[in-house]
Chains A and B, each alone.
Chain A
């Protein structure tokens, strides 16, 4: 199958990877508990849940930053076990603090391109196009500390999209921003992802943000994936009280 397939993935902390099977022993926390999820090419899926529900751990596991305790992460039919982070051709965006302080805006965006064999002109054209896409045209020579929080996240988005990742992972990318900016940027992120045809997983604890950005929303709680559906469907028929609660349908 094309796209991302997460099959029965578990992530546990407090033990060396793979050494504890079945969980439950003292000192071991199960952050992700046998989650399965598929993301079709070009689709944007949001993972929604309270902090500590395991959504970020799942995202890091897909990126290859956390070892799986169980299960498989498969992309375009290839099992990614043993494929190191830098060979996965994914993109990643964090909440904050991810821009390289020693590089200006342009060289931050160019970072992933420098690894690909592109001519200087191609690289520069791509940087210009992406800064344009995120509304920061002409910001190439700006230093990172001079940017506002919203601008920093736009640069991070441009940087993540620049190498044309086959999957973009966004870990609460807007949560450090104030509400107004967050709402506006959620729409812009959606436009950027659709325009570039990027397949993406978007982690958030804000249900309006999830609905604004994603084609489908997965609700997570205590390491488990409770329900995955299109926002409207989810609202119309929440599978449980917990799901309804996260959607803000109940107090």
Chain B
């Protein structure tokens, strides 16, 4: 009898632990995501506690609103189309062909995606400004200029998502098609492209999401003349204190994004469909200068890498070493120890850098705990159909913050976190900004760790259990060591994302607790050549910090496991 009761209590402990593993992330999501978003919606529909749609009709009747929606969608469609069009040849070049220096180019192509939006904005602004290298194109504060910057950002998403699948496609299906008389173009159209379609669709929907919610780039590049729903929410809130219009616009933004997310989720589930995949090793052939498709891919690739990536970044670095009087020097970097010309800032840039690092560290810890638990729970395949559905729902729930823009998160925090949460006043505890950044980073952690946990052969856990390991020991000796590299990569991702986070932070950071991106944006908004020079130098510092973190983390990427980003 005693043994039976001991056994029962042991068996009861496991479900309790799983319940806790589900409850912690769900609680986080409820308080820091669902509540702020719900508060936004309520504020839009019921400004004074009763349903009042006048705010809605008022905003919807403004021609400017529809203009903003139009610009947002045009920007997202163009950004996505060009990212996919340019990304495919580059993916072919970098994942199906081998050539000297390929890993270097692969690394270079990754850089834009992890660069903070504010830095990218500043780099292209410098390029397009009158007197800049591409000033003659007249792209300053234009839709075209912003689309170029968005493509710069997102082409790497396409290259990595599609390339990761492409290099593991079994080449034998293509060879079979060729042996049946199909020309290379026909093989690509009838065999390769359909196999890649799920990855292309998945990448396109993610890119669409990023383009539709782009904030930092648009704010920095668009100036006063150009705006999207996203920047309008910010302007309405911070410049005109018109919280009501901002709420209505946030609701509109949610609708646009939910649609895109639904498409993304469907594409992702199809992506795991039955494709015959092989090891990536040795699937790439040498680049051939005699093959027209190789030459085309190489030319397009070179144009993208040099024109779209090297030029703006090199331009940024070069300009950061130019003194206001046009001579070369370190003046801009020396000025980082000051608060800028005419005290444009409350803190020095170095102080802001320290704040950034501290905030990013806290945010990383939070997102690893929450995201790690989600990945763990969602990677399980429970026996009962009901539990399986619940796990699927949880998976979907935690993708939501990826779609809801950082600006919406920041704005939502602004209107809800002005009161203590469970007795903790987040504003004074210094946790407000890290928590907001963690909301943004958690989906990335989940998407990085989950594929690896899912790819673990269930037989390994079964063997471990039969050999005497209880559930906890199986986790510690099988799941953890195998997922360790991806957890390291996720740590780097979360840290880099937090360092560069601007959308939510710009709403929440106090002037004396400004982070590096916030300081950069403030500097370019203030008059004075010295301030602009400081912004350039600070951008270089931020870019170097993020790139270093990502380079260290990338060393941990497990080439076998793939993953979404």
Contact = CB atoms under 8 A, between A and B. Distances in A.
Interface of A: 16-17, 63, 65, 67, 82-92, 94, 97-98, 100-103, 111-112, 115-116, 159-160, 163, 169
Nearest to B482: A102
B272 interface: no
A100 B477 CA distance: 9
Nearest to A96: B459
B292 to A, nearest CB: 38
B468 interface: yes
Contacts of B468: 86-87, 89, 112, 115-116, 163
A92 B462 contact: yes
Interface string B462-483: 1111111111011001100110
Nearest to B478: A100
User: Which of A16, A65, A83, A102 has the most CB atoms of chain B within a 10 A radius of its CB?
Assistant: A102
Interface of B: 4, 7, 11, 383-385, 457, 459-460, 462-471, 473-474, 477-478, 481-482
Nearest to A171: B459
A101 B463 contact: no
A83 to B, nearest CB: 8
Top 7 A-B residue pairs of the complex, sorted by shortest distance between their CB atoms = A112-B467, A92-B466, A85-B465, A115-B468, A102-B481, A86-B465, A16-B384
Nearest to A116: B468
Contact of B477 (A85, A88, A111, A159): A111
Contacts of B460: 97-98, 100
A63 B482 contact: no
Given A92-B462, A97-B459, A100-B478, A16 B383 contact: yes
B232 to A, nearest CB: 50
A110 B473 CA distance: 15
Contacts of B481: 102-103
A91 to B, nearest CB: 6
Given A82-B7, A111-B464, A111-B477, A98 B459 contact: yes
Contact of A94 (B11, B384, B463, B470): B463
A86 B470 contact: yes
B383 A86 contact: no
A163 B467 contact: yes
Contacts of B463: 92, 94, 98, 159
Contacts of B471: 86
14 contacts: A65-B465, A65-B466, A82-B4, A84-B11, A85-B466, A86-B465, A91-B466, A98-B459, A100-B464, A101-B482, A103-B481, A112-B467, A112-B468, A163-B467
A16 B387 CA distance: 11
A17 B383 contact: yes
B465 to A, nearest CB: 4
Contacts of B478: 100
A contact face: mostly helix, strand, loop, or mixed: loop
Given A82-B7, A84-B470, A94 B459 contact: yes
Given A16-B385, A97-B457, A100-B478, 9 more contacts: A16-B384, A63-B466, A84-B465, A86-B474, A88-B466, A90-B466, A92-B466, A159-B463, A160-B467
Contacts of A63: 462, 466
B174 to A, nearest CB: 27
A102 B459 CA distance: 15
A98 B457 contact: yes
Nearest to B463: A98
A103 B466 CA distance: 17
B3 to A, nearest CB: 10
A67 B467 contact: no
Contacts of A159: 463, 467
A94 B459 CA distance: 8
B469 A86 contact: yes
A67 B464 CA distance: 18
Nearest to A103: B481
Nearest to B7: A82
B6 to A, nearest CB: 11
A68 to B, nearest CB: 13
Nearest to B14: A84
Contacts of B482: 101-102
Contacts of A86: 465-471, 473-474
Nearest to B385: A16
A91 B467 contact: yes
A86 B460 CA distance: 13
Contacts of B385: 16
User: Which of B7, B462, B468, B474 has the most CB atoms of chain A within a 10 A radius of its CB?
Assistant: B468
A159 B460 CA distance: 13
A103 B474 CA distance: 14
Nearest to A93: B463
B227 to A, nearest CB: 51
A67 B383 contact: yes
A86 B467 CA distance: 6
A169 B467 CA distance: 12
User: Which of B465, B467, B474, B482 has the most CB atoms of chain A within a 10 A radius of its CB?
Assistant: B467
Contacts of A163: 467-468
Contacts of A97: 457, 459-460
Contacts of A92: 462-463, 466-467
Contacts of A89: 468
A116 B467 CA distance: 10
